[in-house]
Structure 1
Amino acid sequence: MCAEIARLKQQMVFAPKTSSELFEQMVKQCRKRTTKKGANKLETRRIRTLECIKSATRFAAGKLKNVALKSPFVEDLHPFFRELLEISVNIEDYKSCASRVYSASKLINRIGRGYIIKVKRSQKTDEIVRFEREFFGRTYSILKDIEDCLSTVRNFQVTFQNLPDIDVSLPTVIIAGAPNVGKSSLLRRLSRAKPEVKPYPFTTKELIVGHLEHLLGKIQLIDTPGLLDSPLEEKKNVERKAVIALKHISNLVLFIVDPTETCGFSLDYQKKVLETVRSIVSCDVWIVLNKADIASPSHVENFKKKFNINEFFIISAEKGVNIDKLKNEIIEYFQNRNAKI
């Protein structure tokens, strides 16, 4: 699926930023018209106007057709990518506009063919000149009429181009938790990914991908934006990205807890976030206690009491404590999982 998304990104023909941009490109195609001459001025004008209209029609209609047909068909996308797109764009508006762009390409083709016939039949030079002007005038009106749609389609294409390179076919571990608990630091330790790590919440605003490679293949690791304790329907766009990843591609969740509460969120709060995560996923959720380098025994005991659990991992993403052990446990988990399939 990652290769498929990459292919779709590569094949896209971006909509022009404005209708005027496309119109100017059409005019340039016309200026490249042939230098052939006819038996007289009338025939010379006819030959050159025909070449102008043909090349301009071919360029504009072809461009619009490719913009519409080489953009992704939303229904064919994996639900994970489809929902990510829905955060930023109105899918129904995009589909409607892509259809209008395609219709415009057919209309320009039809108008071009009509004026080619008129030019071929004309017996007056000034009439041929008028037909050329009319052709460009009508084409300009068509392009102006889809100005908003060109912008809508381009916005969708740019959003699609910026989708994360996530392979939904790979075994996937989602790293989740409240903001500033050390998710990005853990991803850096477990993989070669280099997410931005700063000592304040909400640093991660996108899904960040890393890979844990082992003898039998690789496991995909995804660092998600921090989750707050709020109803799913009230979550902001940044949080929704985490929810979408948890919902559609999680095979295992590492829920990171900061027992020291230096992240700015109490253990009670972090537990509520855990409950939200468990309500979203159907896979296993491992509790990973971070900041072992600064956590005291009382911090750990307080965590065990609040969360009412005894099975968990304790690490320090900052200092690398117990990271290799966690890596091996993840690898063994997926090896056992594959053996059962």
Structure 2
Amino acid sequence: MSGTSNLIQLWQIPSTRLLLRGSKLSKEFCATLCFCKKMQTATYEVVNGSYVPVAQTKKEISTEDKTLTRIETVGAFQKLPMVMPSIDLLYSAIRKAKRVSPTKGIVNIAKRERNRGARQLDALMKELAVPLRTYMENFPNKKYLHPYERSLIELTLGDGNYEEVLRRVDALRKKVVSVGKEHASLCAKSSSKREAEELLGEGMKKLEEIFKLEGKAVDDLLNIAKTLRAMPVVDLETPTLCLVGAPNVGKSSLVRILSTGKPEVCNYPFTTRGILMGHIALNYQHFQVTDTPGLLKRCDEDRNNLEKLTLAVLSHLPTAVLYVHDLSGECGTSPSDQFITYKEIRERFSDHLWFDVVSKCDLLQEKPVVFITEDEDADDLDVARYRRVGPDGAIRVSVTNEAGLDELKSRVHNLLVSQSARIKSQNNNQEKLEVHT
């Protein structure tokens, strides 16, 4: 029993004290103690009379998956590193490298010169390669981004361009490291002061030529960083109103009325050339509003990147939809075409909270507008009714004479309050699901 009590007492001694007294313990006891502590942090099962570590359980794997899911949030573009122009990076590195002196205490002139040359080439290589490595480590891998931000990269920069620029930057880094090490090694093995000076000059010139020739990759990365940082930041927890409709139907004008956003307002199609974000403050509550590029009547394969941006917002962000219709004939898209697009989008995103607005009501005539390309007699009753009053439940507004704006603001507020309740409910359900699993 005395041996057992001694073992229990030793088990309760902190590990630091055990180390201090390690000389008094037998090797067998230390091995036993280490195995017991390992048993506390690992799961084992008995196989053929021996303890074998159990593989990672499904529960642990699912926990890791949830952690990765939580990482997938928006806002990555605002954390991008500052990229220096390639010419500035090069000449800054050259200046710093030339200030590197040889190791003190070397009396022999030839040894001192080859030491200086090797150190300066190594310094130049590092001054160029370290920033490039920093860029590679801090620009996010696209597959770990939120789907909305992945879509922004693909549709704004072009499919594959982001990865290609990062690949070129990494290739430049590898070449700089390879050439720098090679010339530094040659310089360190030189046999005379003159040879060391010549090899130093050759190495400096070679690294400068490489960086000038392939440094455009750094400048392309700088432009990518500028473009991505300019993307609007969306808070997934804040209710968001997304204005959708054909080009030039008046979405931007309504955004200016409803929010702090100030998009360009002109009388030509596709004025909105990207996703524009504003904020709404109603009854001490804060909401977001997005102005999106207009949608035309065509299949997804034929849509341009501006239209795909609109679809990306609806697909990947928890938005309520304010769909804007123009029946006045001023926007350039016929009411019949608007109706076809509207039905398609409404059906595709039927799970979104939604309401409709007919804009420019001050320009509406008693008789519905019919474009010359349309056959009024061939239209069905739904299209004919849409030409007259728009979708069921739509309200009519006019920015020009301010008709219907008070009702619009009230409806927007009610819609966003409902969207806020929906987001909270979804978050609560997600938390309950995580607890049960």
1:142-161 matched pairs, under 5 angstroms: 142-143=210-211, 146=214, 149-150=217-218, 153-161=221-229
Q: 1:151 offset after TM fit, Å?
A: 5.7
Which 10-residue stretch deviates more, 172-181 or 93-102?
Answer: 93-102
Residues 257-276 of structure 1 aligned to structure 2 (within 5 Å): 257-276=325-344
CA distance in 2, matches of 1:73, 1:325: 45
The aligned counterpart of 2:83 is: 13
Aligned-partner SS, 2:272: coil
Q: Does 1:56 pair with 2:124?
A: yes
- Asked whether 1:239 is paired with 2:292, we answer no
Are residues 1:65 and 2:133 paired? yes
Give the secondary-structure state (helix, strand or coil) at the position aligned to 1:219: strand
Question: Which deviations, in whole Å up to 9, do the C-alpha atoms of 1:15-62 show, x marking residues without a partner?
Answer: 62xxx6654444333333349885354355345324421321121111
User: Structure 1 stretch 82-91 or stretch 202-211: which is displaced more?
Assistant: 82-91
The Cα offsets for residues 216-250 of structure 1, whole Å up to 9 and x where unpaired, read as 64221111122211212111222222222222225
Unaligned runs of 5+ in 1: none
1:313 lines up with 2:380 in the alignment: no
Give the Cα separation in 2 of the matches to 1:167 and 1:328.
Answer: 23
* Compared CA separation, residues 14 and 157, structure 1 to 2 (3 A): farther
**Aligned residues: percent identity?**
26
Number of aligned pairs?
Answer: 336
Contact kept? 2:247, 2:296, Cα under 8 Å:
yes
- 1:293 corresponds to which letter in structure 2? D
Distance 1:280 1:329 in 2: 23
Match of 1:288 among 357, 372, 386: 357
| Contact 2:239–2:416 under 8 Å retained in 1 | yes
Q: Show the counterpart of 1:109.
A: 177
Q: Extract unaligned runs of 5+ from structure 2.
A: 1-72, 370-382, 426-437
Equivalent in 312, 333, 340 of residue 415 of structure 2: 333
Q: Distance in 2 between matches of 1:29 and 1:91?
A: 38
User: Structure 1 stretch 108-117 or stretch 69-78: which is displaced more?
Assistant: 108-117
Deviation at 1:188, TM superposition (A): 0.5
Matched, 1:42 2:113: no
Distance 1:71 1:186, change over 3 A: same
- Which residue of structure 1 lines up, in the alignment, with residue 235 of structure 2? 167
SS state at 1:293 partner: helix
In the alignment, which residue of structure 1 is the partner of 2:57?
none
Instruction: Report if the CA contact (8 A) 2:76-2:145 is conserved.
Output: no
d(CA) in 2 for partners of 1:209, 1:52 = 49
Deviation of 1:107 (Å): 4.6
Distance in 2 between residues matched to 1:307 and 1:325, nearest whole Å: 17
Q: Secondary structure at the match of 2:362?
A: coil
Is residue 242–residue 320 contact of structure 2 (8 Å, CA) maintained in 1?
yes
2:407 counterpart letter in structure 1 = K
Measured in 1, the distance between the counterparts of 2:187 and 2:386 equals: 85
Q: What is the SS of the residue equivalent to 2:402? A: coil
Which protein has greater RCO, CA pairs closer than 8 Å, 6+ apart? 1
Give yes or no for the alignment of 1:177 onto 2:242.
no
Deviates more, 1:220-229 or 1:272-281: 272-281
The farther-off stretch of 208-217 and 87-96 is: 87-96
TM-score normalised by structure 1 residue count: 0.83
Report which of the two structures shows the higher radius of gyration computed on alpha carbons: 2
Change in Cα spacing, 1:311 to 1:242, as seen in structure 2 (3 Å) is: same
**TM-score, normalised with respect to structure 2:** 0.66
Alpha-carbon distance between aligned partners in 2 of 1:150 and 1:279, rounded to the nearest angstrom: 44
